[in-house]
Amino acid sequence: MPSALITGATAGIGAAFARRLAADGFSLVLVARDEERLTAAAESLRLRYGVESEVLAADLATDEGLERVEARLRQGIDLLVNNAGFGHPGSFLDVSVPDELRMLKVHCEAVLRLTMAALPGMRKRNRGAVINVASVAAFFNRGTYSASKAWVVNYSESTAAELVGTRVRVMALCPGFVRTEFHERASIDASAIPGFLWLSADDVVDESMRDLALGKRVSVPDLRYKVIVGVGRLVPRGLAARVSQRLGRR
């Protein structure tokens, strides 16, 4: 039975990955900060799909939490989904430096360390995959959040290039606006976002799994966002940044 470890597994895209992979017959390791919520998620998956899920409570903004997950990955895993992440409300210039550093710890350092913990075993077995959840924001300018996600895309593509000739794959997943708890938990007003731009987490995961099977290094789910990213690369960066700021939050 193949195995998968998912960070940020209790809600949104992480929970959608858990459902999809459970349905596909994976054994799961669910990682998040809230052990009670993790246990409830594991029980729900057991009842619905008949799979047993390992619960691993860890705060990826701490070295202790990262070390716990690194140790589990070194025991062997077939698919790693680096999904944990968060946003800040308002202008990034109004966010404290410690909060910005915490974001970089979770979005960048955790992705690096967990990927590097998983890859040796995958390379030894010559199979496995890593999906690093980034964002369409990676292709636009919106403070530390978009900068950190741009790093995830670049790092994923660079790592994938290093693995050419093996059966190990690394892919960056870049969704747009997804109906999850993300904006609410970050106290971000999402009311200005047009309804047609919202995606479902399950659709995002389904398309990402198709793109992984196709060997893509970057997955941008949904034609709407493929067009947005394409246009964003053509217009002046200053204009793209202003539109992104206006659309993303009031």
Instruction: Give the active site residues.
Output: 145
Instruction: State the distance between the two ends of the chain, measured CA to CA, in whole angstroms.
Output: 46
> Residue 197 carries which side chain, given as an amino acid letter?
L
Q: How far is CA 196 from the centre of its chain?
A: 22
- Please, are residues 212 and 129 in contact by the beta-carbon 8 Å criterion? yes
Report the alpha-carbon distance of residue 175 to residue 17 in Å, rounded.
13
Query: In the chain, which residue ranges form alpha helices assigned H by DSSP?
Result: 12-23, 35-49, 63-74, 97-104, 110-125, 143-162, 182-185, 201-213, 223-232, 237-248
Strand order in the sheet with 128-133: 53-57, 27-32, 3-7, 79-82, 128-133, 168-173, 218-219
At 232, list the tokens.
């964003």
